[in-house]
């Protein structure tokens, strides 16, 4: 019986009809072609931005604000500081609420509110960023005017579902026996969570926060009518503030070459920062 | 605080009462922070509903069927934007799904490991590119190409017969009629319009379908493949008859997730679609989506009814995304417990 096996294999290879063989090769080729088409835009965008924007990424870009319309020179210092400030403020909301949400979902699975929180956090993940901008506009701008705070609120709301999901997932990876060991030593549950479970999952949570930051760092839509933009450096969160994606949007739709040049350089900087952050986050999560 | 005080006799030590009280405080704290998630949702619905009310009250259901969106006359109907949103999203979906599934098959079935990981990375980076950057690229690189194509293939001096078609279509449009032939008549010299919006949306939603498809294809049990290979099937036969049918439902979940993204995608589309309130006439023509109108008009909307109508678009988009995303999560969640958790 066993000795008879090789013979049929060779025979099937010979009897494989040309039609089937051609179809197999053809489909394999199409799949390779489709993959190339999928990956091409990423490479094309990056090469385009390198070619167009690298020259403008000089010292002036990082130390100056945009020149008045029609004049040359200037940089995006206002946007860089604005982005950093709003991302820092957004992280406070996103990390606090997101990590707490993740702890709630992972550590209190039998709480009656658990299914509601889980469902709503899933639903929030799908709400378009521009709609979050409208919400933040109604909540803050209508009362206090355009401000970096309003922009940060919209970005923070957008971070929440991403942080919740990743936190919940990594907390569930911490073995139950670790928790039981802590409880058996007489630690109350909250100390077990804070001292044992969270530190064990810290790497994964940081990864989630970095991914959330990378995601909202590029959002311009919710900032259009919250942070609004500002041509000079502003460190006061209650005043309008600029951000890199906002300047990219304004520059790309501007008729002035100089604004377009700054927009391309800003896009190169932003995309590089986002790529580096996501790659670092993924590498960190893969090592675990 | 008083309740745990009654408990010590049952527990062994006084510290247990302490821990039970502190546990409760901690749980309340966590619950309070987690409730912010619910609060954000409720606030969003309330805020959007309150601001959209004047428009929805004034126009009722006509808001969704009326084609005219005219801030000057104070008439607001979302039909053109709803059609624009659906046409761009569904067209982008139709183009991107085969590409995304093929790239997932490549990563999961064809590529050797040293190649599969980098390609997987690249596809995920595609999802990390910000919307404005896609918009910038589409505006500066793709739009001129499309503009050139239009003038090359539809140049009236080179192709008089096509120009005849164009004049006939103009006549049809004047009578507010459309014809299928006219769908490809050149319209925008700048290259902006529906076609460019569809192309850029296609690229933007590719990674969502691709990564879900890759994950479910990896979940297909090895026996499914091996059984078919043992019967002498070719690789493509295994893929088309064993892997794809098995992964179908999961891929569908990824497709719906991508649809949710496409519906709400804003700036890239707003930058390239041309912002016109015309109902679909030619794929080269200008159009608008709900999200693009919000981005383009909300800042300038001074009048109460105009502003309210824009927020009503946001509310519509909100519910549309909630429904679509929830459907996608349900489909994906029903599939994953067996494989992943």
Residue A208 clears pLDDT 90, i.e. is over it: yes
Q: How far apart are CA B332 and CA B287, in angstroms?
A: 33
Residue A99 clears pLDDT 80, i.e. is over it: yes
Q: Tell me the residues of chain B between 289 and 308 that have a Cβ less than 8 Å away from chain A.
A: 291, 294-295, 298-299
CA atoms within 13 A on the CB side of A11: 6
**What does the pLDDT read at residue A73?**
82
Q: Which residue from A249, A263, A282 is facing B267, i.e. has the nearest CB?
A: A249
Three-state SS string over chain A comes to CHHHCHHHHHHHHHHCCHHHHHHHHHHHHHHHHHHHHHHHHHHHHHHHHHHHHHHHCCHHHHHCCCCCCCCCCCCCHHHHHHHHHHHHHHHHHHHHHHHHHHHHHHHCCCCCCHHHHHHHHHHHHCCCHHHHHHHHHHHHHHHHCCCHHHHHHHHHHHHHHHHHHHHHHHHHHCCHHHHHHHHHCCCCHHHHHHHHHHHHHHHHHHHHHHHHHHHHHCCCHHHCCCCECCCCCCCCCCCCECCHHHHHHHHHCCCCHHHHHHHHHHHHHHHHHHHHHHHHHHHHHHHC
Mean pLDDT of B88-111: 96
Q: Which residue from A12, A161, A225 is facing B299, i.e. has the nearest CB?
A: A225
Contacts of A38 in chain B (CB under 8 A): 99-100, 102-103, 123, 126, 206, 210
- Read off the pLDDT band of A4 (50, 70, 90): very low
- Whether residue B22 and residue A138 make contact (CB cut-off 8 A), yes or no, is no
Q: How far apart are CA A136 and CA A159, in angstroms?
A: 14
* Tens-place pLDDT, residues B296-310: 999 888 899 999 999
Least confident of A208-222, B113-127, B276-290, B306-320: B276-290
* Tens-place pLDDT, residues B275-288: 887 777 778 888 99
Residue B194's contacts (CB-CB under 8 Å, 6 or more residues apart) are B84, B87, B88, B273, B274, B280, B282, B283, B284, B285, B286, B287
Which chain A residue's Cα is nearest to B126? A42
- Whether residue A101 and residue B34 make contact (CB cut-off 8 A), yes or no, is yes
Q: Are A82 and A231 in contact (CB under 8 A)?
A: no
**What does the pLDDT read at residue B2?**
43
The residue that leads in pLDDT, A71 or B111, is B111
Which chain A residue's Cα is nearest to B18? A188
CB atoms within 10 A of CB B319: 12
- Read off the pLDDT band of A7 (50, 70, 90): very low
**What does the pLDDT read at residue B97?**
97
- Read off the pLDDT band of B28 (50, 70, 90): very high
Residue B102 clears pLDDT 50, i.e. is over it: yes
Which chain B residue's Cα is nearest to A221? B267
Any A CB within 8 A of B83 CB: no
Residue B320 clears pLDDT 60, i.e. is over it: yes
Contacts of B106 in chain A (CB under 8 A): 31-32, 34-35
- Whether residue A215 and residue B128 make contact (CB cut-off 8 A), yes or no, is yes
Any A CB within 8 A of B62 CB: no
Residue B180 clears pLDDT 70, i.e. is over it: no
**What does the pLDDT read at residue B149?**
84
- Read off the pLDDT band of B20 (50, 70, 90): confident
CA distances from B207 to A123, A281, B15, B203, B326 (A): 20, 18, 53, 8, 19
The residue that leads in pLDDT, B4 or B333, is B333
Task: Compute the count of residue pairs across chains A and B with CB atoms less than 8 Å apart.
Answer: 271
The residue that leads in pLDDT, A180 or B174, is A180
Contacts of B209 in chain A (CB under 8 A): none
Any A CB within 8 A of B112 CB: no
* Tens-place pLDDT, residues A26-64: 999 999 999 999 999 999 999 999 999 998 899 999 999
Residue B111 clears pLDDT 70, i.e. is over it: yes
Three-state SS string over chain B comes to CHHHHHCCCCCCCHHHHHHHHHHHHHHHHHHHHHHHHHHHHHHHHHHHHHHHHHHHHHHCCHHHHCCCEECCCCEECCHHHHHHHHHHHHHHHHHHHHHHHHHHHHHHHHCCHHHHHHHHHHHHHHHHCCHHHHHHHHHHHHHHHHHHHHHHHCCCCCCHHHHHHHHHHHHHHHCCCCCHHHHHCCCCCCCCCHHHHHHHHHHHHHHHHHHHHHHHHHHCCHHHHHHHHHCCCCHHHHHHHHHHHHHHHHHHHHHHHHHHHHHHCCHHHHHHCCCCCCCCCCCCCCCCCHHHHHHHHCCCCCCHHHHHHHHHHHHHHHHHHHHHHHHHHHHHHHHHHHHCC
**What does the pLDDT read at residue B6?**
45
Which chain A residue's Cα is nearest to B138? A45
Give the residue from B37, B48, B92, B241 with the most A CB atoms within 10 Å of its CB, the best one to mutate.
Answer: B37
- Whether residue B295 and residue A267 make contact (CB cut-off 8 A), yes or no, is no
* Tens-place pLDDT, residues B210-235: 999 999 999 999 998 999 999 989 99
- Whether residue B44 and residue A220 make contact (CB cut-off 8 A), yes or no, is no
Q: Are A233 and A65 in contact (CB under 8 A)?
A: yes
* Tens-place pLDDT, residues B46-78: 999 999 999 999 999 999 998 889 888 889 999
Which chain B residue's Cα is nearest to A10? B232
Mean pLDDT of chain A: 91
- Read off the pLDDT band of B327 (50, 70, 90): confident
Structure ipTM: 0.91
The residue that leads in pLDDT, B173 or A258, is A258
State percent of chain B over pLDDT 70: 83
Mean pLDDT of A205-227: 94
Any A CB within 8 A of B26 CB: yes
**What does the pLDDT read at residue B8?**
41
**What does the pLDDT read at residue B285?**
84
Mean pLDDT of B255-263: 94
Which chain B residue's Cα is nearest to A146? B299
- Whether residue A128 and residue B321 make contact (CB cut-off 8 A), yes or no, is yes
Mean pLDDT of B103-130: 93
The shortest C-alpha distance from B73 to chain A (Å) reads 24
The residue that leads in pLDDT, B335 or B7, is B335
**What does the pLDDT read at residue B130?**
96
**What does the pLDDT read at residue B126?**
94
Mean pLDDT of B8-17: 48
Residue B17 clears pLDDT 90, i.e. is over it: no
In terms of C-beta density within 10 A (0-12 exposed, 13-18 middle, 19 or more buried), how is residue A147 classed? buried
Residue B251 clears pLDDT 60, i.e. is over it: yes
Mean pLDDT of B160-188: 67
Contacts of A225 in chain B (CB under 8 A): 298-299
- Whether residue B136 and residue A252 make contact (CB cut-off 8 A), yes or no, is yes
- Whether residue B123 and residue A189 make contact (CB cut-off 8 A), yes or no, is no
**What does the pLDDT read at residue B341?**
34
- Whether residue B43 and residue A220 make contact (CB cut-off 8 A), yes or no, is no
Contacts of B38 in chain A (CB under 8 A): 116-117, 120
Q: Which residue from B22, B103, B126 is facing A188, i.e. has the nearest CB?
A: B22
The shortest C-alpha distance from A199 to chain B (Å) reads 17
Residue B43 clears pLDDT 80, i.e. is over it: yes
Contacts of B244 in chain A (CB under 8 A): none
Mean pLDDT of chain B: 86
**What does the pLDDT read at residue A217?**
96
* Tens-place pLDDT, residues A135-172: 999 999 998 899 999 999 999 999 999 999 999 999 99
Q: Which residue from A128, A190, A275 is facing B266, i.e. has the nearest CB?
A: A128
- Read off the pLDDT band of B7 (50, 70, 90): very low
Q: How far apart are CA A48 and CA A259, in angstroms?
A: 17
Residue A8 clears pLDDT 60, i.e. is over it: no
* Tens-place pLDDT, residues B135-165: 999 999 999 999 888 877 766 667 666 666 6
Any A CB within 8 A of B196 CB: no
Q: Which residue from A49, A160, A263 is facing B40, i.e. has the nearest CB?
A: A160
**What does the pLDDT read at residue A284?**
77
């Amino acid at each position: 019986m066993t000795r008879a096996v090789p013979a049929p294999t060779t025979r099937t290879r010979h009897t494989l009809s040309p039609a089937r063989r051609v179809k197999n090769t053809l489909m394999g080729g199409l799949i390779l072609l489709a993959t190339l088409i999928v990956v091409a835009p990423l490479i094309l965008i990056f090469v385009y931005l390198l070619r167009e924007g690298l020259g403008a990424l000089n010292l002036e870009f990082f130390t100056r604000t945009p020149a008045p319309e029609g004049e040359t020179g200037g940089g995006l210092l206002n946007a860089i500081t604005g982005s950093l400030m709003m991302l820092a403020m957004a992280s406070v909301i996103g990390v606090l609420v997101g990590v707490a949400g993740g702890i709630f979902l992972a550590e209190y699975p039998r709480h009656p509110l658990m299914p509601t929180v889980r469902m709503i956090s899933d639903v929030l993940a799908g709400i378009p960023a521009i709609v979050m901008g409208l919400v933040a506009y109604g909540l803050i701008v209508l009362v206090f005017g355009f401000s970096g705070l309003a922009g940060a609120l919209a970005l923070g709301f957008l971070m929440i579902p991403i942080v919740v999901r990743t936190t919940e997932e990594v907390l569930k990876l911490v073995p139950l026996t670790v928790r039981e060991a802590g409880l058996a030593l007489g630690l109350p549950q909250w100390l077990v969570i804070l001292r044992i479970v969270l530190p064990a999952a810290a790497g994964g949570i940081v990864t989630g926060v970095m991914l959330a930051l990378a995601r909202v760092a590029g959002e311009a839509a919710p900032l259009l009518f919250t942070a609004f933009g500002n041509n000079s450096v502003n460190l006061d969160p209650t005043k309008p503030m600029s951000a890199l994606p906002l300047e990219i949007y304004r520059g790309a739709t501007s008729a002035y070459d100089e604004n377009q040049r700054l927009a391309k350089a800003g896009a190169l900087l932003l995309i590089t920062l986002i790529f580096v952050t996501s790659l670092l986050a993924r590498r960190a999560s893969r090592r675990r | 605080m008083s309740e745990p005080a009654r408990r010590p006799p049952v527990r062994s030590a006084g510290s247990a009462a302490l821990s039970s009280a502190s546990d409760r405080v901690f749980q309340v704290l966590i619950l309070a922070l987690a409730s912010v998630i619910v609060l954000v949702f409720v606030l969003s619905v309330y805020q959007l509903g309150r601001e959209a009310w004047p428009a929805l009250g004034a126009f009722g259901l006509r808001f969704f069927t009326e084609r005219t969106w005219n801030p000057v006359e104070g008439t607001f109907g979302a039909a053109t934007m709803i059609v624009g949103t659906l046409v761009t999203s569904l067209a982008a979906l139709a183009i991107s799904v085969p590409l995304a599934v093929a790239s997932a098959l490549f990563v999961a079935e064809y590529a050797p490991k040293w190649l599969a990981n980098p390609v997987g990375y690249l596809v995920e980076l595609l999802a990390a590119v910000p919307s404005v950057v896609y918009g910038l690229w589409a505006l500066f690189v793709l739009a001129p190409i499309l503009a050139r194509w239009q003038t090359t293939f539809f140049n009236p001096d080179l192709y008089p017969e096509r120009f005849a078609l164009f004049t006939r279509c103009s006549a049809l449009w004047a009578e507010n009629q459309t014809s299928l032939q006219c769908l490809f008549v050149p319209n925008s010299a700048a290259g902006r319009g529906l076609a460019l919006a569809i192309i850029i949306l296609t690229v933007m939603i590719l990674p969502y379908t691709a990564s879900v498809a890759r994950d479910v294809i990896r979940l297909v049990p090895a026996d499914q493949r091996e059984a078919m290979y043992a019967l002498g099937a070719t690789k493509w036969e295994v893929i088309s008859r064993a892997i794809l049918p098995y992964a179908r439902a999961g891929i569908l979940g990824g497709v719906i997730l991508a649809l949710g993204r496409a519906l709400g995608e804003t700036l890239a589309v707003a930058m390239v679609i041309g912002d016109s309130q015309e109902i679909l006439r030619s794929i080269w023509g200008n159009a608008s989506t709900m999200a693009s109108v919000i981005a383009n008009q909300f800042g300038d909307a001074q009048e109460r009814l105009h502003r309210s109508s824009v927020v009503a678009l946001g509310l519509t988009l909100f519910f549309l995304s909630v429904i679509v995303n929830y459907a996608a999560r349900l489909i994906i969640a029903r599939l994953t417990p067996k494989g992943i958790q």
